[in-house]
């Protein structure tokens, strides 16, 4: 290839790629390029044609807007072209734009209308005699598609205008899908097995171009007006407002919604200040935007500035850093969260998204992986909005690597069956979205959460052992399982605190677990807090079976289920040995919970931790199994309300349950009796209303005493 032919070949390739992207974006509603990649291609082509004017062709994407209509709708010839805007990506380009306008208009302080750049589908609405008669898409800027029937279903578009209006008026604006509506629709689509939308812009375009208006009517679409097209003035309206900002205010009076974020400003720095302000609001707005638009406000100055081939010289779109970019997947891995949730991620070639270099993006769960069919080596579109974790939103299948036979080079990704952190089984129940590691007591990834739950008040009740302290114990590798808590002494806690203090002051490096060494400190160190902690841990060695079962953190085993298991089996070993079928025979335990319990105790790591707890001197009360029919209150439901002087409500509930009762938190016709203490409120009133028997504290104590004999 000669040096002269290189620019021509590159320009031809760019035109082909941009035309293909336009077709997918405007006609198929199935874009395969993120906006940033499209903008780069277009700017490169503009640069080549500027340097080599002889290469510019009449059908170049730089001389027209969008793509031709799909042919599924009737064509509409726009009376006034619907042109797009030139783009700016830097502050200097904005300053050059403002300076050029000041120079060419002779106005040293021109006013600008400032507006958010909506990310939807541009349309033109035609009204005759104040009535909506036709709506069309932008199309190629000269010819669009007639989507009147669909636009009539968008509630924010007025079907008849208010007040005095010209005989003919065309209003331009954007049909968009609000974020809340987009999320609701995708949730509905997932629930009903329908295809989800990639983003709100895609949702708006696809919804508006449905052949059946009834489908469009079901989609959450909205509209904002931002410009005028053709206008025929009449006696009732002899002239239009002289500025664009006044026109927007006038459109509001006619019944058109206009973005509440529109503003006015003078000078380049006011434009840039607006850009920064809207950028800060971007993630909180109820709709998607991809930049802001600056328009010279006075219409006489707009006419003086005129147009270039594809855009007005008096307006500019200042783009935000792209929230979507294209990159290549290098590998797919999983992350194990603090609750055992196994989340798939992709590691990617580094790419700038939203102004941040991104190398990882979430795939959320196995269902999302299957829906996207993400594989190693795939080219993907990654989205990042604000502080939201980057996510893969689309696979560009046309770029998937193939073998010599034209088949995908890599197989579909499968979630691992074993935890990559601890080797425990990964389980996912039918109907559940999230897969989880079953090594709850052992898995390092779940260590902080497992310890915090184990020490909580309703579990082992270790006073003073809060989440921050537990996080420090894990960070400094002082504990690896809940059993390790019982070997800690005062010196261990004091040494850990010294290391934490030294790290905070930059005196120690603990980048490797257990490697940090604090500098010696002089002076007496207060140790009362550590002594109290050790005493609290030691006191928790004596517990009850139901508390221990709850403390283990078995999925779906709360306090009530733990009590049921303790009463039914009487001891821990029979529970550990029970299979799913045996567990299903326990009252109120269904197949899902039975599977969780069986899987938990089948995991060798969990059994090892329980053995270590026993070796550390942790023990719990056990006894003979108590079936529901064994106690005098078997089959009865009791509700406790108000305060008791002689014992806590928890203790009273436990003693009633030991007699076979089921303790409930709400009163109904099925309630056997209510125990009402001091300041009993609505539950007592409900019992009296339903005629349920009410016991006071004295009657409760008399009954418990008699039952104990």
Cβ partners under 8 Å of residue 239, min gap 6: 233
SS3 letters across 77-111: ECCCCCCCCCEECCHHHHHHHHHHHHHHHCCCCCE
- The residue annotated as part of the active site, out of 103, 117, 517, 519, is 117
Q: Buried b / exposed e across 162-179, counting CB within 10 Å, b at 16+?
A: eeebbebbbbbbbbbbbb
Question: Is 322 in contact with 35 (CB distance < 8 Å)?
Answer: yes
Mark residue 617 as left, alpha or beta (left: phi above 0; alpha: psi -120 to 50; beta: remaining).
left
Neighbours of 352 (CB within 10 A): 14
Question: Is 291 in contact with 317 (CB distance < 8 Å)?
Answer: yes
- Among the listed residues 23, 329, 392, the one whose alpha carbon sits nearest the alpha carbon of residue 199: 392
Q: How far apart are CA 315 and CA 295, in angstroms?
A: 4
Q: Buried b / exposed e across 149-161, counting CB within 10 Å, b at 16+?
A: bbbebbeebbeeb
DSSP 159: S
SS3 letters across 308-370: CCCCECCEEEEECCCCEEEEEEEEEEEEECCCCEEEEEEEEEEEEECCEEEEEEECCCHHHHH
- Name 361's bridge partners: 346
- Sheet containing strand 168-176, strands side by side: 131-137, 121-128, 168-176, 222-232
- Widest CA span in the chain: 108
Q: Is 535 exposed, middle or buried (0-12, 13-18, 19+ CB in 10 A)?
A: middle
What is the DSSP secondary-structure string of 642-667?
A: SB-SSS-HHHHHHHHHHTT-EEESS-
- Name 371's bridge partners: none
Is residue 117 annotated as part of the catalytic site, yes or no? Answer: yes
Question: Is 167 in contact with 234 (CB distance < 8 Å)?
Answer: yes
Cβ partners under 8 Å of residue 135, min gap 6: 123, 124, 125, 126, 146, 147, 148, 150, 151, 152, 157
Q: How far apart are CA 649 and CA 510, in angstroms?
A: 46
Terminal alpha carbon distance of the chain: 104
- Among the listed residues 297, 172, 162, the one whose alpha carbon sits nearest the alpha carbon of residue 226: 172
Question: Is 372 in contact with 392 (CB distance < 8 Å)?
Answer: yes
- Name 75's bridge partners: 145
Give me the active site residues, please.
117
């Amino acid at each position: 290839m000669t040096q002269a032919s290189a620019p021509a070949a590159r320009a031809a390739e760019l035109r082909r790629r941009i035309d293909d992207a336009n077709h997918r974006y405007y006609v198929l509603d199935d874009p395969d390029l993120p906006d940033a990649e499209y903008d780069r291609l277009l700017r490169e082509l503009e640069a080549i044609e500027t340097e080599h004017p002889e290469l510019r062709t009449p059908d170049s994407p730089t001389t027209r807007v969008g793509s031709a209509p799909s042919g599924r709708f009737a064509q509409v010839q726009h009376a006034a072209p619907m042109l797009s805007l030139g783009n700016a990506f830097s502050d200097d380009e904005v300053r050059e734009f403002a300076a050029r306008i000041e120079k060419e208009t002779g106005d040293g302080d021109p006013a600008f209308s400032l507006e958010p750049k909506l990310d939807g589908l541009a349309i033109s609405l035609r009204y005759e005699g104040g009535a909506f008669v036709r709506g069309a898409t932008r199309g190629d800027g000269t010819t669009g598609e007639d989507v009147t029937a669909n636009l009539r279903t968008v509630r924010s578009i007025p079907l008849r205008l208010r007040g005095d209006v010209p005989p003919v008026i065309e209003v331009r604006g954007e049909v968009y899908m609000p974020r809340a509506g987009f999320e609701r629709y995708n949730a509905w689509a997932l629930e009903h097995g329908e295809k989800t939308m990639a983003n709100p812009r895609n949702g708006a375009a696809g919804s508006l171009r449905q052949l059946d208006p009834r489908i469009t009517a079901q989609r959450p679409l909205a509209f904002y007006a931002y410009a005028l097209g053709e206008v025929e003035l009449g006696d009732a309206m002899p002239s239009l407002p002289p500025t664009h900002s006044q026109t927007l205010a006038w459109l509001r009076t006619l019944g058109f919604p206009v973005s509440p974020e529109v503003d006015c400003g003078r000078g380049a720095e006011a434009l840039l200040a607006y850009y920064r302000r809207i950028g800060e609001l971007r993630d909180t707005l109820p709709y998607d935007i991809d930049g802001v638009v600056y328009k010279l406000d006075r219409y006489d100055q707009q006419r003086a500035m005129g147009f270039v081939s594809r855009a007005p010289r008096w307006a500019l779109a200042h783009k935000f850093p792209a929230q979507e970019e294209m990159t290549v997947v290098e590998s797919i891995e999983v992350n194990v969260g603090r609750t055992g949730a196994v989340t798939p991620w992709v590691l990617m070639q580094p790419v700038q998204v939203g102004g941040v270099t991104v190398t990882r993006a979430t795939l959320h769960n196995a269902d999302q992986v299957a829906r996207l069919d993400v594989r190693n080596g795939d080219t993907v579109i990654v989205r990042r909005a604000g502080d939201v974790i980057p996510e893969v939103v689309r696979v560009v299948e046309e770029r998937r690597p193939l073998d010599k036979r034209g088949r995908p080079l890599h197989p579909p990704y499968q979630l691992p069956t074993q935890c990559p952190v601890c080797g425990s089984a990964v389980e996912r129940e039918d109907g559940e979205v999230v897969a989880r590691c079953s090594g709850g007591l052992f898995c390092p990834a779940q260590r902080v959460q497992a310890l915090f739950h184990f020490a909580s008040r309703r579990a082992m009740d270790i006073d003073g052992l809060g989440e921050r302290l537990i996080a420090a114990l894990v960070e400094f590798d002082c504990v690896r399982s809940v059993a390790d808590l019982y070997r800690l002494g005062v010196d261990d806690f004091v040494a850990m605190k010294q290391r934490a203090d030294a790290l905070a002051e930059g005196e120690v490096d603990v980048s490797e677990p257990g490697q940090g060494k604090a500098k010696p400190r002089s002076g007496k160190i207060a140790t009362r807090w550590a002594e109290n902690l050790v005493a609290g841990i030691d006191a928790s060695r004596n517990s009850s079976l139901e508390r221990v079962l709850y403390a283990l953190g078995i999925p779906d085993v709360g306090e009530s289920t733990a009590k049921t298991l303790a009463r039914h089996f009487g001891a821990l070993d029979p529970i550990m040995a029970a299979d799913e079928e045996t567990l299903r025979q326990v009252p109120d335990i269904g197949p899902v919970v039975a599977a969780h319990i069986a899987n938990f105790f089948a995991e060798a790591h969990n059994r090892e931790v329980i053995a270590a707890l026993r070796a550390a001197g942790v023990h719990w009360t056990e006894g003979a199994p108590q079936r529901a029919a064994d106690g005098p209150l078997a089959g009865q439901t009791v509700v406790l309300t108000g305060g008791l002087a002689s014992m806590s409500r928890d203790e009273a509930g436990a003693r009633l349950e030991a007699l076979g009762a089921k303790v409930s938190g709400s009163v109904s016709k099925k309630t056997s009796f209510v125990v009402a203490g001091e300041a009993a409120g609505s539950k007592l009133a409900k019992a009296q209303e339903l005629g349920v028997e009410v016991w006071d504290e004295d009657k409760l104590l008399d009954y418990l005493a008699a039952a104990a004999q």
